[in-house]
Amino acid sequence: MLGKYDANKVEYKDILMFFRDEISVYEYRYTLEDNTTILLKIKEQHFCKLLALDEFAPSTYKRRMYLDELGLEKVEKEELTSVDSKNKKPKIWKTYKNRIEYFPYLRELLLKPEYVIFNKQLLNTKIDAQIILLYRLSETEYIHLFCKQIKDNTIIPITFLIHKNDKYIINQETKVISKVETVLVD
């Protein structure tokens, strides 16, 4: 397992290479204790949203240009860098830099998650997810991969959060994962 990134030194392009080499080349199959199989499809186009790169768009109407393939292109061409993000929007940077720091733990989360059925009605949140894949770094530090169900038993990631409390998982239903499989995607 890798350690945390130094958000002040690592570039989005380097994180994207890690994502391509270690994360998005696989689909993840989770067999629950009741024998239900859940398939997580995590693709390259999810990268920008997981790091919240759309938050660094110069204006609200340009946010979509910082997502999906357009965002990936900006990262690859180094038109969108962590240095620029930090310098141009320091308040937003401070809010989201922990996603960069903890991004190496995403691989660990995908291989050893806890499975939480997320009911947003229990919280005051805009996160429109049905599932949280959870990784506990410590008793008080959690990494969350919020996922949306796109069809029966298939989910995709929609956001990646790090919290120092159990706000998103308290009083939520959990399921035991009995088996994790990674399948190489062409």
Categorise residue 3: left if φ over 0, alpha if ψ from -120 to 50, beta otherwise: beta
Q: Is the pLDDT of residue 1 over 60?
A: no
Cβ neighbours for 68, distance < 8 A, ≥ 6 positions apart: 45, 48
Question: pLDDT class for 68, splitting at 50, 70, 90?
Answer: confident
| Domain ranges within the chain, ordered by starting residue | 12-184
pTM for this prediction: 0.94
**What average pLDDT does the segment 17-39 reach?**
98
Q: Which residues contact 164 (CB under 8 A, 6 or more apart)?
A: 140, 141, 142
Q: Quick one: pLDDT at residue 66?
A: 84
Q: What average pLDDT does the segment 63-90 reach?
A: 91
Instruction: Output the pLDDT for position 95.
Output: 95
Three-state DSSP at 70 gives: helix
Mean pLDDT, residues 140-153: 96
Q: Which two tokens stand for residue 149?
A: 């169900």
